[in-house]
């Protein structure tokens, strides 16, 4: 059997893995949004800008410092996390007392500033970034060729997501986090430094976005505009999945990436909107989201 519904099998599987790669980015970004939302009760609109910064830092590290992919993989997420932590400490922290919408608007403003700043310096055109040598080429699976880099992205993202789930659900640190989410004042009364945890949570969330940016650098043109369109899709993913559960965000992200990939095969015109259409359907039939509690 070489065809399914008239589509050659290799093409189908190719789009499937590409969908999983995109799904990995959705998963990491929506996981970061969910972690931040759980702790800070805000939606980080600058998440797309952090993802873009991750990719741009990766490119800049090579261009200006001669630091390759592996260094970037280690340093860039930390760099993005530091930027995030500085913004949290200096700006975001002042708004926790107020309506959630002010924090949303502040992060929107920050996203505009970051994106506009990079555009001013680097222009809108994307820059190419080569796949590192060790991850070039493809595995021959017999029935298809699987590019190594795609396998790598999916593996890293799954590992990171599972690790996050493990830390939050199964460790003592995670227990503190969940307690602080549930009742910050009481947790603080027990002697746990809640503001520090808030800061680190935000740093971790945007660091995840930065890591997604590093992973994305060799798969797409690296440019200042790569974050803003992605973040809107990720918002739709979050509305579909709900932010109540970590595994829920990850599964929704991966699943929608696959659906998007398959749409590219069977009905390419709709691939840009399929996630939004699914969101509309979910809103209609299951307003709380697939994994969500009623918000």
Provide the minimum distance between the beta carbon of 13 and another protein in the complex, in angstroms, as a whole number. Answer: 27
Per-residue mark of binding to another protein, 153-182 (x: CB under 8 A): ------------------------------
**Taking the C-alpha atoms of 58, 64, 226 and 257 in order, what is their torsion angle to the nearest 10 degrees?**
-20
Per-residue mark of binding to another protein, 35-74 (x: CB under 8 A): --x----xx-------------------------------
**Residue 225, interface with another protein (CB under 8 A)?**
no
Compute how many other C-beta atoms are within 10 angstroms of the C-beta atom of residue 255.
20
Residue 17 vs 107, nearer CB to another protein: 107
Distances in Å between the Cα of 81 and the Cα atoms of 78, 118, 122, 150, 220 are 5, 18, 22, 25, 22
**Do 210 and 29 meet the contact criterion of CB atoms below 8 Å apart?**
no
Binding piece for another protein, criterion CB under 8 A, among 56-64, 149-157, 182-190, 280-288: 280-288
Per-residue mark of binding to another protein, 247-266 (x: CB under 8 A): --------------------
Tokens of 109: 């403003």
DSSP-derived 3-state class of residue 250: helix
Binding piece for another protein, criterion CB under 8 A, among 2-10, 12-20, 58-66, 229-237: 229-237
**Residue 236, interface with another protein (CB under 8 A)?**
yes
Binding piece for another protein, criterion CB under 8 A, among 16-24, 58-66, 192-200, 276-284: 276-284
Residue 35 vs 72, nearer CB to another protein: 35
For residues 60 and 45, give the distance between their C-alpha atoms in angstroms, rounded to a whole number.
24
**Taking the C-alpha atoms of 15, 147, 237 and 262 in order, what is their torsion angle to the nearest 10 degrees?**
10
**Taking the C-alpha atoms of 223, 229, 232 and 237 in order, what is their torsion angle to the nearest 10 degrees?**
-80
Residue 118 vs 204, nearer CB to another protein: 118
**Do 57 and 79 meet the contact criterion of CB atoms below 8 Å apart?**
yes
Binding piece for another protein, criterion CB under 8 A, among 19-27, 50-58, 225-233, 244-252: 225-233
Burial class (CB in 10 A: 0-12, 13-18, 19+), 38: buried
In the DSSP assignment, the letter for residue 65 is I
Residue 85 vs 106, nearer CB to another protein: 106
**Residue 293, interface with another protein (CB under 8 A)?**
no
**Residue 295, interface with another protein (CB under 8 A)?**
yes
For residues 156 and 284, give the distance between their C-alpha atoms in angstroms, rounded to a whole number.
34
For residues 186 and 79, give the distance between their C-alpha atoms in angstroms, rounded to a whole number.
32
Binding piece for another protein, criterion CB under 8 A, among 76-84, 113-121, 148-156, 179-187: 113-121
> In the set 13, 18, 111, 208, which binds another protein (CB under 8 A)?
111
**Do 261 and 22 meet the contact criterion of CB atoms below 8 Å apart?**
yes
Residue 7 vs 273, nearer CB to another protein: 273
**Residue 86, interface with another protein (CB under 8 A)?**
no
Q: Under the rule (CB under 8 A), what is the footprint of another protein?
A: 37, 42-43, 91, 94-95, 98, 100-102, 104-106, 108-117, 119-120, 228, 232-233, 235-236, 238-239, 269, 272-273, 275-277, 279-280, 283-284, 287, 289, 295
């Amino acid at each position: 059997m070489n065809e399914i519904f008239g589509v050659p099998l290799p093409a189908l599987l190719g789009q499937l893995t590409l969908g999983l790669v995109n799904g990995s980015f959705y998963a990491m970004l929506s996981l970061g949004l969910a972690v931040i939302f759980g702790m800070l009760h805000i939606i980080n609109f600058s998440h797309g800008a952090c993802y873009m910064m991750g990719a741009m830092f990766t490119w800049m590290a090579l261009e200006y410092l001669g630091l390759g992919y592996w260094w970037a993989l280690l340093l860039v997420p930390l760099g993005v996390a530091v930027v995030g932590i500085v913004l949290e400490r200096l700006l975001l922290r002042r708004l926790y007392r107020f309506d959630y919408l002010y924090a949303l608007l502040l992060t929107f403003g920050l996203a505009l500033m970051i994106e506009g700043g990079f555009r001013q310096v680097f222009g809108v055109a994307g820059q190419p970034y080569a796949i590192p040598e060790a991850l070039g080429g493809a595995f021959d699976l017999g029935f298809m060729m699987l590019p190594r880099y795609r396998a790598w992205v999916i593996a890293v993202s799954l590992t990171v997501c599972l690790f996050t789930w493990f830390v939050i659900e199964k460790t003592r640190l995670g227990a503190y986090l969940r307690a602080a989410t549930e009742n910050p004042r009481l947790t603080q009364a027990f002697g746990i430094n809640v503001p520090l945890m808030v800061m680190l949570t935000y740093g971790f969330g945007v660091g995840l976005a930065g890591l997604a940016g590093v992973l994305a650098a060799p798969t797409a043109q690296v440019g200042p505009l790569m974050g803003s369109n992605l973040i809107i899709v990720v918002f739709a993913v979050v509305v579909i999945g709900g932010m109540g559960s970590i595994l829920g965000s990850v599964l929704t992200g991966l699943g929608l990436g696959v659906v998007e990939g398959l749409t590219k095969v069977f009905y390419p015109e709709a691939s840009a909107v399929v996630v939004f259409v699914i969101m509309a359907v979910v809103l209609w039939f299951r307003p709380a989201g697939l994994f969500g509690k009623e918000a």
